[in-house]
Structure 1
Amino acid sequence: MSQRFTREEFYELVWSKPMTHLAKDFRLSDVALHKICRKHDIPNPPLGWWAKHAAGHKVKQIPLPKAKAGVALTVVIASGEVRQEPDNLASAREQARVKASELDLSGEVLSHPLVKKSFDKLRKAKPGNTGLVTLSSDGYVHLEMAPASIDRAELCLLQIVAAARSQGFELSAQASKATFTNGSVAIPFAIKEAYKRIKHVLTPEEIAEDERRQRRRSRDWSRSDWTPHSFSFGRPEWDYVPTGQLAFEFDIHLRYASQVRRAFKDAKLQRLENLAPDIAVGLAVLAAAKVEDDKKAEVARLREEEAKQRRIEAKRLAYIDDRRSKVLEDVLARLEHRDRLRNFVERLEEELADDQGIRVSEFVAWTRKKLASADRSLSAVGLDELFREQNVFGSDDDRGFYPNSYW
């Protein structure tokens, strides 16, 4: 949860210990802490001041000047991240925390047309079985909560909207879901209330009513041969009790940055209305993660597309080779047929040299024509005609090849 200091309190803190030590306490870099001091016009000890102080030398403390116009009187230190983050996210978080240091919502009249429109519609909705009213229509903020929590949730969201604006994000409903957007990244969200599910215990009134129904049904059955049984009369198995605990949840999935925080909830030591700076910082970090995630997703998409094209090309080449192999088998079959035909004709012609059979002579002449045709089909010209006819060994080698989307 973020910490708030007056300008005077933070000045005393800065002069109470070295900046590197104070920065570690806040999980900030000393560079970021110096930036926060400059934003609030808070002087800090110069280089070597602490070494002289530790050596017992007399050192001068620079007094805190009066706040200039436009300088925030409150210093907000948004919470840092305990776990290790990638450098780009750590940098985005630190920059966002420096921006959040100037955030002061006290005394500001907060309003937003989309927030008002959404909560006005929510107030008209009827609670469901869980005791919560729900709004999830396009063009509205996604909300789920008990009627008693509506006013508080509205104030929380207005504070979050103001805090997000300090990070360069605006609440928008141009997409189907309400989102926070900085013009390039849009992040949807929801505010939900938790509820408990407890076993339903029949009330004395329900017990009495069930007994009356059972007696009435038993009387009806006594007039027939049916054996009466115990029946449930539509009593619910569970009761649902809203807890009043609100949660702000960013509704976004990241493939490569799943460690980024997405939910901010009420807890024993924190309330959602005090988490606006932390949520705004989380929004900025999540947007940076989304940008990085999109880049990695695009690289992965291109890599997969290249791999797919390689698979398709391999299948195309295999398809071409298979078609060429079939044509080759056809050519070899023709070659074998021609050679057999030539051998046969030459043998007959040797026999006909001694005995001129009219019909056999006619057959040999006809076969000679077939042989000439076979020779022509196996010549370069003939083979070229065959290859053109079969669409092989040319630019149309892959004719009839259609890539499958599942490859």
Structure 2
Amino acid sequence: MVIKKLSRKELYNLVWATSIKQITEDYLVSFQSFKKICRNNRIPLPPNGYWSKKKFGKASPPIPLPKYGTEKENIILYRREDEDKRDLGELSDCDKLKLEIENDPKVDLKVSKKLSKKFDPIVKATKFPETVNHPKKGGVWDYTKRYDYGGIGVSVSENLLPKTLRIIDTLVRALKARGHTFSFVYERSYVIINSIEISLSFRERHKRIIYTDDYGHKRSRLDPLGLLILITGEYSSKKEWNETNTISLEKKLSQIIAYLEITAEEELDWKIESAKREKERQEQEKIERQKAEIRNREVKKLKDLIALSRQWHETQKLRKFLSHLEENTDLNSISNIEIKELIKFGREKADWLDPTIAKKDEILEGVNPYDFL
């Protein structure tokens, strides 16, 4: 299948150069689906009668292409071949990617009937796990260190192992052909897509059988069904791809790879957005801290200023009291000598207490003037 990727401008040029009837004959898209593609991308269509008038040179000029979104090549049309009647105009992103993978010349999704002698190193490590040299730390396996060699986690019966290895070989080669890599840590394996790790493992489907033992007690056991399950992701992102008697896992490989790539892209977008929000949060916290520091400095400065004001007013009250005492006391009288000395002492200390003078006083050095307020 030939895939044609177009930008908005290219699709606009196609629409005004070729009738929609001809486009739907050339590509796997219906009339309504194509109109919806144009509507979603804000691409104006020729009015009714445009092509008839164009034959006689009477057609109106094309409607200008309005600005909208990005101009990336994200509009896909599929060339119609033979008698293919499918309408691929309204595919989901996953279905579009699935078709792209199936038509990628670098990707071979056909599972061989026999495992090649030159199988991938990952398949070799899966088949012979005892050959993998796990990194150690302090004499024990390091469960935190990632390394680029190892095998895929497999839990299947001996009869199902050859088929499992062939599917792993096909899947690993396809993922590598798509430009993805792998990492391993002890018994866990990950495919790395756009720096995002997604775990991969295989197990066999089982059926629970209820039976009665020789003593009449009800027991249960799990019997292997010879069918595979591919497990992608972990915890909340865990997803199981089940093989059935009618649909093999091989037929789901393109869908699985498409899912992995879209999941990785979504997680990367989420990480980028989270990092952006975290950066904005940190910047906002920094602004708030700076505001708080400025506020605290200004509050302290204002408190100090008010304290100096109180100190000055207390000094003025002291001076006023000393002046009143001087005016109402006969300082020439021998009996008032102590009051005269007190007034002199008070005025000297007032100059020390006055923040506008702050006269030095060796006796009161180290004493806080605020203690007198």
TM-score of the superposition, structure 2-length normalised?
0.57
Whether 1:33 and 2:12 are equivalent positions in the alignment is no
Equivalent of 1:378 in 326, 346, 356: 356
CA distance in 2, matches of 1:105, 1:197: 29
Aligned to 2:253: 276
Task: Measure how far apart 1:294 and its partner are.
Answer: 3.0
Letter in 2 for 1:189: S
Equivalent of 2:275 in 283, 286, 298: 298
Whether 1:351 and 2:340 are equivalent positions in the alignment is no
Indicate the SS of the match to 2:104: helix
Indicate the SS of the match to 2:198: strand
Indicate the SS of the match to 2:78: helix
Aligned to 2:172: 161
Structure 1, unaligned stretches of length 5 or more?
1-15, 46-76, 125-134, 208-235, 383-407
> How many residues are treated as equivalent by the alignment?
278
Aligned to 1:307: 284
Asked if the contact 1:143/1:192 (under 8 Å) is kept, the reply is yes
- After the TM superposition, which of the residue ranges 289-298 and 363-372 deviates more from structure 2? 289-298
Aligned to 1:369: 348
Whether 1:185 and 2:163 are equivalent positions in the alignment is no
Task: Measure how far apart 1:161 and its partner are.
Answer: 0.8
CA distance in 2, matches of 1:269, 1:379: 100
Aligned to 2:123: 115
Distance 1:241 1:311, change over 3 A: farther
Asked if the contact 1:181/1:187 (under 8 Å) is kept, the reply is yes
Letter in 2 for 1:116: K
Indicate the SS of the match to 1:154: helix
Task: Measure how far apart 1:160 and its partner are.
Answer: 0.4
Task: Measure how far apart 1:117 and its partner are.
Answer: 1.4
CA distance in 2, matches of 1:239, 1:381: 98
How many percent of aligned residue pairs carry the same amino acid?
11
Indicate the SS of the match to 1:99: coil
Aligned to 1:265: 242
CA distance in 2, matches of 1:345, 1:237: 106
Asked if the contact 2:28/2:77 (under 8 Å) is kept, the reply is no
Whether 1:99 and 2:104 are equivalent positions in the alignment is yes
CA distance in 2, matches of 1:262, 1:244: 20
Structure 2, unaligned stretches of length 5 or more?
1-23, 38-73, 133-142, 361-373
Task: Measure how far apart 1:81 and its partner are.
Answer: 12
Task: Measure how far apart 1:167 and its partner are.
Answer: 1.3
Letter in 2 for 1:341: L
Task: Measure how far apart 1:197 and its partner are.
Answer: 8.3
Whether 1:337 and 2:314 are equivalent positions in the alignment is yes
CA distance in 2, matches of 1:338, 1:91: 86
CA distance in 1, matches of 2:91, 2:235: 20
Distance 1:92 1:308, change over 3 A: farther
Task: Measure how far apart 1:302 and its partner are.
Answer: 1.9
CA distance in 1, matches of 2:252, 2:319: 97
Asked if the contact 1:345/1:368 (under 8 Å) is kept, the reply is yes
Whether 1:146 and 2:128 are equivalent positions in the alignment is no
Distance 1:198 1:277, change over 3 A: closer
CA distance in 1, matches of 2:180, 2:145: 22
Indicate the SS of the match to 1:181: strand
Task: Measure how far apart 1:370 and its partner are.
Answer: 1.1
Asked if the contact 1:100/1:166 (under 8 Å) is kept, the reply is no
Distance 1:188 1:92, change over 3 A: same
Task: Measure how far apart 1:31 and its partner are.
Answer: 4.5
- After the TM superposition, which of the residue ranges 332-341 and 157-166 deviates more from structure 2? 332-341
Distance 1:318 1:30, change over 3 A: closer
Task: Measure how far apart 1:154 and its partner are.
Answer: 2.0
Indicate the SS of the match to 1:20: coil
TM-score of the superposition, structure 1-length normalised?
0.53
Task: Measure how far apart 1:103 and its partner are.
Answer: 2.7
CA distance in 2, matches of 1:328, 1:279: 72
Asked if the contact 1:334/1:374 (under 8 Å) is kept, the reply is yes
